[in-house]
A and B are shown apart, each in its own frame.
Chain A
Amino acid sequence: MTPTTMTATQAGEFRAAGTDLSERRRSGVSTGPLIDISAAPDTIGMHWGAEGSLRIGAFTTIAAIAADARLAAAYPGIAASAQGLATPQVRHLATLGGNLAQRSRCWYFRNPHIACLKKGGSDCPARSGNHLYHVAFDLGPCVAPHPSTMAAALLAYEAKITTDRRSSLTIGDLLGDGSNGTADNALQPGELIKSVALPSPLQGERALYKRAISRTHAEWPLVELCARAVIRDGAFQFVRLAAGGIAPVPLRLVAVEATLQGKQASAATIASAAEQATSGAKPLPMTGYKLDLLKGVVQDLLERLTA
């Protein structure tokens, strides 16, 4: 049977660019049939709406998103996130849909010799093992952070996802709330992401992206943040902060947003708001440092947004 004659109900793992999948095939973590998928005109590229909204086809590469000048002007947080993830080689192949649907980077999940919840096992070996790079917001049985940088950025922009079966899915609908440790997302078997819709940007909004890592580039984030703000008359009129690398799903930092809403944009306000970034955190024994880094990136981006 050739991939093109397969129907969505038949079991098989989708392969777009294969940047994530090829490593799992080689290691033996991924076995079984593959379904090669390819772009159609409506599932690739930028489709601008009349009122300045944008629909991005799921097959659009990360590099194309990173390089699009109109997108960077309207949605700087999306562009900066795309520029900041992975390596140039990966960005030139990897697709937006693939980035959202990629599998966990947990080193227990990636090890073919170790069972885990995401591979049919009965418990999470990272929870009681070496979880240096894992969650600091312990929201479910699996302690691997969600790997998608674009998901955090899209959460900050309140994007909606269309699949071949459903439309208007939020990032929360797409990825779940972190309580299901067996999956990296809440897509149904065989469901395929088609496009992502971004609402029109707000008047005068600015946005930035930052990841805390040990090297300069090319490293999975310890903590990452996409931050948007509208500052009018020196006060925060609108703030959206979405963080990755800290929880099984990207998280809105609602406590920080609420603290800043309507407040004057001063160094003191920002410093005290940054302390709220860890509200609700439940770090593991080895991940307490991520809370320091989270406060650091929040303060960094808010200071730069108000500069």
Chain B
Amino acid sequence: MKIALLPSDQGELKALSLTAYADTGAATNSTIAALARLIYPAEGKELADFDVISNLPAGAPFRGPGGPPMAFALEQAIDEAALRMNVDPIALRKRWDPDPNRQRLYDWASSLDVWRNRKPIATQSGRYRRGVGVATGYWLYLWQPRSKVEVAVKGGRLVASTATQDIGTGTRTVIANTVAREFGLEPHEIDVRIGDSKLPEGPGSGGSRVTASVIPPMLLAIEKLKAAIQQNAKRQPAPGSNAPWREWLAASPDLSASGVRPEDSRQMAPGIESPLKQAGFMGWIFGWMMRRFSNLVIGAGMPSSVQVIEVEVDTWLGHVRVVNVHTGIAVGKIVAPALAHSQAAGAVIQGIGYALYEAREVDSRTGDVLSGGMEDYRIPGIADTPVIDVHFDQGGFDHVLGGSVGIGEVATVPTSPAVANAILNATGVRLTELPIRPDRLVAALKGRAAA
């Protein structure tokens, strides 16, 4: 990747250029540089993605494809610009990135003690040096049209059904929690039926689209079902009941109602708009094509994340220990707090793997994958997991019925550049290759090229 930023004399971002050559192997359509289109508006942007096609197996970071490498380049470039302009890196992002969701996250990040107490760059001289770095990430808010959810009363129990799936990301809990909350029940009292294509059409699991695709139709279905229950009830709840819906349900015959994903409200908070608007007519065409051919809508507002990461570098042995991570995430209202927290923490751990350990190594002559087992393909272990502080900013998506969008991809995007920026803060050395292994770090500290 090659990246260049041009600040104006007034300190605004004038131009941004990013060219990415992706090792796509036997595949095409890498999207790395293109993702820099939708953040840090500038007068001029030159963004180009190239696929380097070979007989190697296809591969890309699995979570937020294209996002982590884009952020690794862009967020280090922003950090470098802040350093050269002698501006606080969070203050520069506040100036260059007007997105209202991220503006709130920047305020949160700049108030953290770990950020306020960080030392100036490369002012330490011992073997172990600590540094603090910041980076930003975003993902598209995607939802799938025609997503349909049926909510029914069967034998006095509530059953929610849609043909989606839970690949470990918490779909089942999101559905159960939403229905339970609306009826004043406990999540375990709700039967969730997914994973069957005979059920009403639901969204695929990809691109962080599921939450924003299933909650709005589910809320419509619940509203209809509630009216039907009240109409058909054999008796009314006792006056002053503290669990009226429990009583309505006990008195209800079997009923069902369904909802189809509605369009979002056009009443949006200031500064919230479709990211495609920035791309003008081309954006409109792209949006139409996405809806027509991919059955996917790019909605208004951007799921966003800002991470502040502290590392400790062992300059003798090239070892990086991530000490603590503060991850701020704006994906609207959190429907399943325990699982969202887990997703946010897991995304940090996965991001640390991307930053420090994970690499597919191949034999250059035969293309044989050499790192085919868990001993040679390193991922973080428990001892590599830092203290993780998760902050959810729950605003920004009031135009979406229910106010919630997906968290999956956005939560992992900024980790690797935040780690690299923290290493720079600690040592004065900027690492531009991933993963940041001991061989690369000791070579960089000695000012020579890695093998």
Give the contacting residue for A23; candidates B357, B373, B384, B450; CB below 8 A: B373
Contact count A vs B, C-beta below 8 Å: 95
Known: A212-B319, A216-B381, A292-B318. A111 touches B438 (CB 8 A): no
B384 touches A212 (CB 8 A): no
Whether the Cβ atoms of B316 and A300 lie closer than 8 Å is: yes
Given A114-B363, A219-B378, is A214 in contact with B368 using a C-beta cutoff of 8 Å?
Answer: no
* Contact present for A220 and B375 (CB under 8 Å): yes
Whole-angstrom distance between the Cβ of A201 and the nearest chain B Cβ: 28
How many residues on A have C-beta within 8 angstroms of the other chain's C-beta atoms?
36
A23 vs B365: C-alpha distance in the bound complex, in angstroms?
Answer: 25
B442 at the interface (CB under 8 A from A): yes
- B316, A285: Cβ atoms closer than 8 Å: no
Q: Are A216 and B370 in contact (CB under 8 A)?
A: no
Q: How far is the CA of A297 from the CA of B319 in the complex (A)?
A: 12
Interface contact A293-B317, CB-CB below 8 Å: yes
> Are B378 and A216 interface neighbours, CB within 8 A?
no
CA distance A295 to B437 in the complex (A): 17
Q: How far is the CB of B371 from chain A (nearest CB, A)?
A: 7
- B107 within 8 Å of A by Cβ? no
The chain B residue with its CB closest to the CB of A287 is B451
Contact of A111 with B381 in the complex, beta carbons under 8 Å: no
| Cα(A216)–Cα(B314), bound, Å | 12
Task: State A220–B381 Cα separation when bound (angstroms).
Answer: 14
In A87-112, the 8 Å CB interface with B consists of 105, 107-108, 110-111
CB neighbours of A296 from chain B (8 A): 316-318, 442
Once A114-B366, A293-B318 are accepted as A-B contacts, the answer to whether A214 and B438 lie under 8 Å apart by CB is yes
Expressed in whole angstroms, the minimum distance between the Cβ of A270 and any Cβ of chain B is: 12
A18 within 8 A of B: no
By a CB distance below 8 angstroms, the chain A residues around B450 are 289
Is A263 located at the chain interface by the 8 A CB criterion? Answer: no
Shortest beta-carbon distance, A191 to chain B, in Å?
28
Say how far B271's CB is from chain A's closest CB, in angstroms: 42
Residue pair B316, A218 in contact (C-beta under 8 Å)? no
Is A172 part of the binding interface, using a Cβ–Cβ cutoff of 8 Å? no
Which of A39-47, A64-72, A124-132 has 4 or more CB atoms under 8 Å from chain B? A124-132
**Contact across chains for A217 and B356 when beta carbons are under 8 A apart:** no
A114, closest chain B residue (CB): B368
Question: Chain A nearest CB: distance from B86 CB in Å?
Answer: 33
With an 8 A cutoff between CB atoms, is A199 at the interface?
no
Could you say which residues of chain B place their CB within 8 Å of the CB of A222?
A: 438-439
CB contacts (< 8 Å) of B438 on chain A: these are 212-214, 222, 289, 293
Tell me the bound Cα distance from A75 to B384 in angstroms.
Answer: 29
Chain B, residues 309-340, CB within 8 Å of chain A (1/0): the string is: 00000001111010000000000000000000
Q: How large is the interface on B (under 10, 10 to 19, 20 to 34, 35 or more residues)?
A: 20 to 34
Q: Which residues of B contact A295 (CB under 8 A)?
A: 316
- A293, B378: Cβ atoms under 8 Å? no
A295 CB to closest chain B CB (Å) equals: 8
Residue of B with least CB distance to A288:
B451
Q: How far is it, in angstroms, between the C-alpha of A299 and the C-alpha of B207 when the chains are bound?
A: 49
**Chain B nearest CB: distance from A43 CB in Å?**
28
Interface string of B360-386 (1 = CB under 8 A from A): 011111101011110110101101100
Q: How far is the CA of A300 from the CA of B314 in the complex (A)?
A: 11
Partner of B357, one of A129, A215, A288: A215
Interface string of A187-223 (1 = CB under 8 A from B): 0000000000000000000000000111111111010
| A185–chain B nearest beta-carbon distance, Å | 21
Complex formed: what's the CA distance from A293 to B441 in Å?
A: 11
Tell me the nearest residue of chain A to B448, going by C-beta: A288
Asked if B292 CB lies within 8 Å of chain A CBs, one says no
Chain A positions within 8 Å of B439 at CB level = 132, 222, 286, 289-290
Whether B318 and A130, one on each chain, are in contact in the complex, defined by CB atoms closer than 8 angstroms, is: no
B443 touches A289 (CB 8 A): yes
Q: Does B446 contact A (CB under 8 A)?
A: yes
Q: Mark interface residues in A266-305 (1 if CB within 8 Å of B CB, else 0).
A: 0000000000000000000111111011011101100000
B360 to chain A, nearest CB (A): 11
Complex Cα gap A290–B363 (Å): 21
The smallest C-beta distance from A91 to any residue of chain B, in angstroms, reads 15
**Most chain A CB atoms below 10 A, which of B357, B375, B380:** B375
Complex Cα gap A181–B364 (Å):
22
In the complex with contacts A222-B438, A289-B438, A296-B317, A129-B384 CB distance below 8 A: no
Q: In the complex the two chains form, what is the Cα distance from A128 to B364 in whole Å?
A: 9
How many angstroms between the C-alpha atoms of A234 and B258 in the bound complex?
A: 83
From B356, B363, B381, B446, name the one whose CB has the most chain A CB atoms within 10 angstroms.
Answer: B363
Question: How far is the CB of B190 from the nearest CB of chain A, in Å?
Answer: 39
The answer for the CA separation of A111 and B371 in the assembled complex, in Å, is 9
**CB within 8 Å of B: which A25-72 residues:** none
Counting from the closest, the 5 A-B pairs by CB-CB distance are A296-B316, A216-B383, A289-B439, A286-B451, A107-B370
B positions within 8 Å CB-CB of A: 316-319, 321, 356-357, 361-366, 368, 370-373, 375-376, 378, 380-381, 383-384, 435, 437-439, 442-443, 446, 450-451
20 contacts between A and B (CB under 8 A): A107-B370, A108-B370, A111-B368, A128-B365, A129-B364, A129-B365, A130-B362, A132-B361, A212-B438, A213-B319, A214-B438, A216-B381, A216-B384, A288-B451, A289-B439, A289-B442, A289-B443, A292-B318, A293-B442, A295-B316
* Further pairs besides A125-B363, A213-B438, A219-B378: 10, Cβ < 8 Å: A107-B370, A214-B357, A214-B435, A215-B378, A215-B381, A215-B383, A287-B451, A289-B439, A292-B318, A300-B317
Chain A residues engaging chain B, CB cutoff 8 angstroms: 23, 105, 107-108, 110-111, 113-114, 125, 128-130, 132, 212-220, 222, 285-290, 292-293, 295-297, 299-300
